Amino acid sequence: MQRVAFKMYLKPGFSEEYEKRHAEIWPELKQLLSNTGVEDYSIFWDKETNILFAVQKNNGEQSSQEIGTNPIVQKWWDYMSDIMEVNDDNSPISIPLDELFHME
């Protein structure tokens, strides 16, 4: 199992909307993530910087950040693009983070 962490950027003033949209995550997106091997996926919010910190465990070949060619993912990106900092293709600006310490 691989652990993956990355950060993204929430636009100011959209924390409640971000939380609402994720509380109503589309079943087809959730199923796609599971089918890809993504599990135990959490996103944390730093209120001072509007940085979103995500961490997930992956049993498959790809993380959630590597399935962007899927139409469901692209539709989710479009849906989220008004409240997050995004690239030209509406994918969230996402910066991978290196793991320096882990304790079980």
pLDDT tens, residue by residue, 67-101: 878 999 999 999 999 999 999 999 999 999 999 99
Model pLDDT, residue 69? 87
Please tell me the distance from the alpha carbon of residue 86 to that of residue 68, in angstroms, as a whole number.
13
Secondary element (H or E) of residue 77? helix 71-80
User: Which residue range forms the structural domain that includes residue 50?
Assistant: 2-97
Per the CB < 8 A criterion, the answer to whether 65 and 45 are in contact is no
Assigned domain for 73 exists: yes
Mean pLDDT (whole number) for 3-27:
96
- Annotation marks residue 102 as catalytic: no
Structural domain total, the chain? 1
Q: For residue 30, which amino acid is it?
A: K
Determine, yes or no, domain membership for 102.
no
CATH number, residue 77: 3.30.70.100
Is 14 a domain residue?
Answer: yes
Say what the pLDDT of residue 62 is. 67
Predicted TM-score of the model (pTM): 0.89
Average pLDDT, the chain: 93
Active-site residue (options: 3, 22, 31, 49)? 22
Give the span between the Cα atoms of 96 and 6, in whole angstroms.
Answer: 4
